[in-house]
Amino acid sequence: MERFRKPNRRDVLLGSGAIALTASAVDGSFLSQAAAATPKQGGKLVYVGIMNSKHKSPEKAMHPYTGIEIRTNVTYDRLTWVDEDLGVQPQLATGWRAVEENQTVWEVDIRQGVKFHDGRDMTTNDVVASYNMHRDPKLGTSFSKKLLESVEKVGPDKIRFHLKSPNSELPWWMAEYRQAIMPADDLDKIGYSGIGTGPFKFAEIDVGRRVIYEANEDYWDEGPYLEQLEVVTSSGADPANAYLSGQIDAILQADPAIVGHLGSRDDTGISVAKSGDQILMVLPKHDGSVFADVRIREALSLALDREAIVRIAYAGYGWASNDSHMHAASPDFLPREPLRDIVKAKQLLAEAGYPNGITLPTFHYAPYTPELGRVFQVAAESVKKAGITMPIEEHPLSGYRKWRVEDKEKTHMHRFAMGPVGSRNSAANLYRMARPTYNESGYWHPSAEGDEYIALYTKAMLTGDSAERHAIYLEMQRLLQREVPAVFLTGRKELIVHRNTVHGLTSHAQYWNATFNKVWRD
């Protein structure tokens, strides 16, 4: 995490193909004072967050899958946590190890002395029951259903995972926001009580609008210092006006366009994460599609002015993607070189039979975040220089994903459209292009290159040595940059705007992993 002033032109640097910002928001004296400050107990924090699309009914409002937002770590803990540097840290697990060389069996040590909100001790039985729900074919999460064969208790403080396929990065997967640990119960009941082991407890819920949490005084880790935490959904409030009028204390996932204005105030601080979400353009490669030709795909990527998108649409708070799901803050990230080449883009179009330029099908997107309209306006304008005309059309967010993807009946194929991508570990990022039936690859599979990519991913998941995995991940990205199964434009650095009386509120590249137990107020 870095704390920044509003960036100027000198702050926007192109380094190793990725756009980064220089960190110099505050001077050393301020930092030393902040480090020496002693957290205070009490107070309330009100912030604006983006509502979970699955949050629709009071009966399910406290379940970790369907709560008001996907920051489940307010009320629940997972076995592991991904920190602000995107490293994996212990949470309810204290240790883990692969006990089979092929990475299919893992043992996990479970923290002792942890209590649920109702006073019950958290045990390995609760962990096993929680993961049995997570892997249930009808009720569970996509990760656990596809990866976990079984989970068993092998001692009072130890469980064992049996995987359906090798996974050398299981500890990161255990940190996924839905992998919450809940009190053991029947499959159709587990999780609905809202009882977890997290730093806050549910106190009041107004479905679709707001939730109030109260402090868990028996929390096993540091804090919480706040007495109450309240989240208001962005659908029920204009974040900037609510902040200026004093109704809220913080804006999470703030629009970069408002950061400069609010950040210039004496009473306001800005927290900037190392990376954040990015956006991809799905390129459907079915028969008759122009994107079946790799030269068209590469030309589109080379024609995009990603630096301009970061500068204009993100006000500098962004980074240039590399045509993979990888994010620029990852040590495994391979910059795309060259990032832009208009001459080569025109040459590729000519070789593909379009010497005078090409008009692409209409590109569709939905406003997942406020700046996306600006992103695609800049993108469409930038590719004109290479002779590419790209009409764009915005769709309502409600129902957008179902509309853009291929339906089960196959009455329509995936559209030329945007998809959102979160920051995750390398295996999770690169896996998304290794799924033969997944729409994000735009029907790249089956193909010789797609088969090669899947083989590399399989090899990585069998490889316990991180340095060896790193080399494999680089090769996978080189293959994606040659083939361009999808175009990735830019990413936003996750931003939090907050009052200077709020301390310990840190922006996180995985916005669902921002924590509140160490937050306190003057």
**Residue 463, pLDDT score:** 98
Note whether 468 and 517 are same-domain residues: no
Note whether 252 and 360 are same-domain residues: no
**Residue 196, pLDDT score:** 98
**Residue 21, pLDDT score:** 32
Please give the Cα distance from 288 to 380 (Å, whole number): 23
pLDDT in tens, 311-363: 999 999 999 999 999 999 899 999 999 999 999 999 999 999 999 999 999 99
Q: Quick count: other Cβ atoms within 10 Å of Cβ 135?
A: 21
Q: Give alpha helix (H) positions in 214-341.
A: 239-244, 256-263, 294-303, 306-312
| Within a domain: 13 | no
Note whether 449 and 310 are same-domain residues: yes
| Within a domain: 466 | yes
Note whether 397 and 448 are same-domain residues: yes
Q: Cα-Cα-Cα-Cα dihedral of 453, 372, 175, 319, to 10°?
A: 70
Those residues of the chain that have pLDDT short of 50 are 1-36
Handedness of CA 438, 442, 448, 450 (dihedral sign): negative
Q: How many helices (H) and strands (E) does the chain have?
A: 14, 26
103: tokens are 């990475």
Which residue range(s) make up the domain with 479?
278-492
**Residue 235, pLDDT score:** 63
Domain count, the chain: 2
CATH for 205: 3.40.190.10
Please give the Cα distance from 446 to 461 (Å, whole number): 21
pLDDT in tens, 424-455: 999 999 999 988 766 789 999 989 999 999 99
CATH for 282: 3.10.105.10
**Residue 233, pLDDT score:** 83
Note whether 376 and 420 are same-domain residues: yes
Q: Quick count: other Cβ atoms within 10 Å of Cβ 100?
A: 11
| Within a domain: 328 | yes
| Within a domain: 422 | yes
| Within a domain: 259 | yes
86: tokens are 């995107």
Note whether 207 and 285 are same-domain residues: no
Chain centroid offset of residue 416 CA: 22
Contacts of residue 289, defined as CB under 8 A and 6 or more positions apart, other chains included, come to 283
